[in-house]
Structure 1
């Protein structure tokens, strides 16, 4: 969806709840494993029994610090926990422990690339904050006739709520932001990112306005658990709001749900403001104090961040920024690229193959790169034989097809012997299938002369200034050589003979 829809500007902000990858809950020692029988992972603290007190989980704090470092945010040296008061059956205390005025992570940004028409542009979304809080329980309706059940297994699960500025202007931007955020939290290991299990839940605040006008009234689409549904929900909500305004109706601030079966959003309740929650500092929890030494220790233990790795790929491998960003979408893809590039010594060709043929095959097969039937060493061997002139691109794709279909994965670590064996394997395929490129100039000239003699019309058109006529000559030459001719040699000899 474009930025302007029916003369309106779309404005989108995000609130994302990332479940932190701790073994226990944020204020108790109860486990957080998914899929347990109802109410088997809720202790006295989670159930808010009288006399219980919360105790901060250090692991949750460290994961918040890691996120702040990953998005270039400020880590507050002193932050406060507050009680967010509301009444719901699955919230046994009658309030949620969260952070309000002073969150642990302040500011930061998330950048990503987006296709706009024929251009690839870099977008940046500013983050307002990321704060620690506990999850509520869950109300169960489907297994009960005429009544509901309460499962408190999720109560107290540690969450990091990540809030953006209203910087996105289309559903495409919103989805691209959500994917990049998902990459960041899974890369640094603070969240498993499982959207189906609720580990990464997105709420989209959507409004529309006339360009240059004040912000419109927003409606919050809750619990979007797939990128596909996210785009559908936002697009529907935008159209619905515009239709309402055009019909003379005012938009009412509300929380809405998306129904994937109908493709529509529907209002769930009137949206509350901060004042409705009556926030006040939690008297049972002291301020969270994070010294610089703690931050530096966490920073020293973190793996290389995707943006840092992308910068290194640009510097060390002379890749375009776009390539470097795409290749650092996951650690596995980045590792596959580096192994291929080091083995063949052609990083740009490696990037082109991975972003092109490899990605296309993986997407079609719905496979992760860890499952790719073609190993990094095998791909490197193919690229090596293209580069040294043994095969052309057409033959390389045929070999790649054979490797993919055969599903040969050599499990040994990447080393000199491993790469040599992969090259030997590729050479055997080249020989067996007769795919070696024709580099004999005399034999190639003979084919070119025959094609020129058989296509006088194309020759005349080319000499008359129609450069496209050359394509009508190259095709027959490649066919006559059974696809083995070196395209570069073909073009050079043609130009020489045609003057």
Structure 2
């Protein structure tokens, strides 16, 4: 097969995308039964006759899941159908207990929406509108664990284990219309779209959108057509891509693979493919079914969904500010560089930073604490920042104490550690640990004179105008005062003492 560069591909072909994003809703119970949805429970401990598909068990729709789906549709500028219906999607897979999936087919609950995304291009920032075809509800399947073999998949495995805890978890599938016109930026547009969806869903509070745990998964459909042609090429579907970076890599890799096949006179197979994180390439999965292969028909055990128009308008009125608009507003208010704004979003601390600022903290200081020391401690403990026992109130109080001179940055870090360790509020940690700034100039001068006497050669260098040498003396004074002095005040007094004020 001829090897092509990405530029080679773009010289001849136009990419056409289609993106399907599956979202696990964070309801407390499953889509059609009362079983818990807690992630990480022991296998097969969150099941019942309904989600195990035992004879005679009948489903009941989760109203909260319908509400969440309508919220998603409204946030994506969709029309909400006054009447929608569930359907049975028939296919066999070991981890699907009913051998059909309850989904929606020709009567979805949300249709005809759009999402605008912006990316950086060679010509500067450029916006792309991604049109949404449908948003529909369905249930998730169980989970297979294939033991043995080299791939971790069913082929070549010694045996397979099935966990039905996930079977019946409420899912929402967001399906775009075909996405032409992205040109060479197709991979970046795909990534930006999934990122924008993630932020919208997070702002709605309908999902934790943790891609690494599978609560947000993207299926990326890619095809190529000759530049200037209206004829669509054969598509492949890369399944369950679970990170933003992987979405971009999968689209780019498939574009190159398709072009190499077409240039060699071969046909692209309509199939599902699996993305390989280590290589950035995809490998063949199975031939891609057409809709008729699933033999959809209306679900006879569930009544149609007909949401009240007033209820829909109430939900619409309660929609939060669109994340992209909120980001721009906060970025302007706080004068934040793009890179730092992206860091807050990726660390999922934008909300708590804003809360800290609203409590009176300086925006720069608030960002510094949440992205710096607190983020470091979260990484050290291998938990999310949101799981640490520290609040916006705590950080705002600490920022205020530093600003008032009651704490130095070093002492403030000790207070943060104490709060996270469960020792109480900042005030309680300060009291129990005996943390106090040494701001008595007399005590500081005594420490300075002692250090200068012990390190007389270094002190002489400073007296003779070699100011960089002062750093060692300041460090020694800070050690002498057990880190409880204000380093800026120590420097001021030290230089005055050595005739360099």
The question of a shared fold, defined as TM-score above 0.5 by the shorter chain, is answered with yes
Structure 2 CA distance for partners of 1:237 and 1:404, relative to 1, 3 Å: farther
Matched, 1:205 2:210: no
Deviation of 1:15 after TM superposition, in Å, equals 0.7
The question of whether the paired residues in 2 share the 8 Å contact of 1:32 and 1:154 is answered with yes
Go from structure 1 to structure 2 and tell me whether the alpha carbon gap of 1:427 and 1:338 turns closer, same or farther (over 3 Å shift): farther
Contact kept, 8 Å, 2:9 with 2:255, in 1: the verdict is: no
Distance 1:176 1:287 in 2: 35
Q: Is the 8 A contact 2:378 2:385 kept in 1?
A: no
Q: Which residue pairs with 1:87 in the alignment?
A: 92
Matches within 5 A, 1:299-448: 299=316, 303-307=320-324, 309-310=326-327, 313=330, 317=333, 332-337=349-354, 339-340=356-357, 343=360, 350=364, 375=395, 428-434=486-492
- Give matches, 1:256-271, under 5 Å: 256-271=273-288
CA deviations 1:419-455 (Å, max 9, x no partner) are xx99x999944333449xxxxxxxxxxxxxxxxxxxx
Unaligned runs of 5+ in 2: 1-5, 150-156, 420-424, 427-435, 440-482, 494-499
Distance 1:185 1:248, change over 3 A: same
Task: Call closer, same or farther: CA 1:166–1:366 in 2, change over 3 Å.
Answer: farther
Q: Is 1:107 matched up with 2:119? A: no
Q: Which residue does 1:165 correspond to in 2? A: 177
8 Å CA contact retained: 2:77, 2:114: yes
| Structure 1 residues 267 and 363: CA distance shift in structure 2, 3 A | farther
Q: Which 5+ residue runs of structure 1 have no aligned equivalent? A: 386-398, 414-420, 436-481, 485-499
Corresponding residue of 1:235: 252
Aligned equivalents of 1:85 and 1:29: distance in 2?
A: 24
- Partners of 1:129 and 1:403 lie apart in 2 by 54
Distance 2:11 2:373 in 1: 38
Cα deviation code 1:242-266 (max 9, x no counterpart): 1111111011111111222343211
- The structure-2 alpha-carbon separation of the partners of 1:153 and 1:303, relative to structure 1 and needing over 3 Å to count, comes to same
Alpha-carbon distance between aligned partners in 1 of 2:205 and 2:250, rounded to the nearest angstrom: 28
* Alignment correspondent of 1:126: 131
* Alpha-carbon displacement from aligned partner over 1:104-142 (angstroms, at most 9, x marks no partner): 121222233322237233333221111000112223321
CA–CA distance in structure 2, aligned partners of residues 11 and 80 of structure 1? 30
Does residue 151 of structure 1 match 2:167? no
**Is 1:194 matched with 2:194?**
no
Instruction: Render the CA deviation track for 1:247-299: whole Å, top value 9, x for unaligned.
Output: 11011111111222343211111101111112111121111011122223334
Q: Is the 8 A contact 1:337 1:376 kept in 2?
A: no
Among candidates 24, 28, 31, match of residue 19 of structure 1: 24
CA–CA distance in structure 2, aligned partners of residues 173 and 426 of structure 1 = 51
The corresponding residue for 2:459 is none
The 1-side partners of 2:339 and 2:326 are apart by 12
Residues 104-113 or 288-297, more deviating: 104-113
What corresponds to 2:463 in structure 1?
Answer: none
Q: How far 1:324 moved relative to its partner? A: 12
SS in structure 2 opposite 1:89? coil
Tell me how far apart the structure 2 counterparts of residues 238 and 404 of structure 1 sit (CA, whole Å): 51
Alignment TM-score, normalising by the size of structure 1: 0.69
The answer to whether the 8 A contact 1:256-1:267 is kept is: yes
Change (3 A) 1:20 1:427: same
**Cα distance 1:132–1:324, how it changes in 2: closer, same or farther (>3 A)?**
farther
Aligned to 2:192: 176
Rate the CA distance shift 1:335–1:34 in 2: closer, same or farther, 3 A.
closer
